[in-house]
Amino acid sequence: MTSLLHLDSSANRSGDSVSRELTELFAETWRTVHGPSGDRCRYRDLAADPVPPLDTAYCTLGRRLERNGLPSLTDIDAWIRSPAEEREWALTRPLITELLAADIVVIGAPMYNFSVSALLKAWIDRVGFPGVFTHPDTGDSLLRATKVVVITTQGGSYGPGTPREAWDFQTPYLRTYFGKQGVAEENIHFVSAELTMAGVVPHLAHQQPLAANSLASARKEVTSLAAAGRPVSRAGV
């Protein structure tokens, strides 16, 4: 059975967040297709339960492991040398475990200042612990078969051919990050809803029809991706 990890990173929890609306649409569609989810669907709200930023103990433990050939995830406890390192690993391991357990990850990623929110960046930094996504025997990525769907929402327009296309540091960053962690290129999908501020900011009011079309297109794509077939087998990973 497939499993889903559903992440929201919008600071806006008032009910009018477009990224939250779209990730919930993905999750609802996924549950409809795959039946009652039980513990196969994990939800993490990075605004309601923020991931703490890294500290010295996290870095010290990570560097010790790198110097010693990056032990497997199950062996990391044996390399902890202080209560501070123990606390950092206790914060980190559950996030890594639930990511590794997921066949599909859907991430709500609103654009903040041309990149991702600090809430999402803190999660990215913490799960990116040295070596945890590499098979200890084969060197293959444990995320190779994981499907990642990133739903970006942008107040303006940053798509290909627009004047601000080069200002979007969010999409290439996330594509590079997950690619570096070993997610297959064909398993990384981006869905974008643009001009989400058209109904709020007066000088963008004339863009409301374009915003509505972008949101409708995003909803259609989200539904299609959530209803798609199961990811490829993880055999041998």
At residue 69 the predicted structure's pLDDT band, cuts being 50, 70 and 90, is confident
What are 167-217's pLDDT values in tens digits?
Answer: 999 999 999 999 999 999 999 999 999 988 888 888 888 888 988 999 999
Domain locations in the chain as residue ranges = 4-51+100-127+140-227
User: Is 230's pLDDT higher than 70?
Assistant: no
* 26 annotated to bind ligand: no
Task: Give the span between the Cα atoms of 134 and 66, in whole angstroms.
Answer: 13
Q: Which CATH number fits domain 4-51+100-127+140-227: 3.40.1180.10, 3.40.50.360, 3.30.200.20, 2.40.110.10?
A: 3.40.50.360
Residue-level pLDDT at 96: 97
Asked if residue 43 belongs to a known ligand binding site, the reply is no
Residue 58 counted as an annotated binding residue: no
Q: Is 154 assigned to a binding site?
A: yes
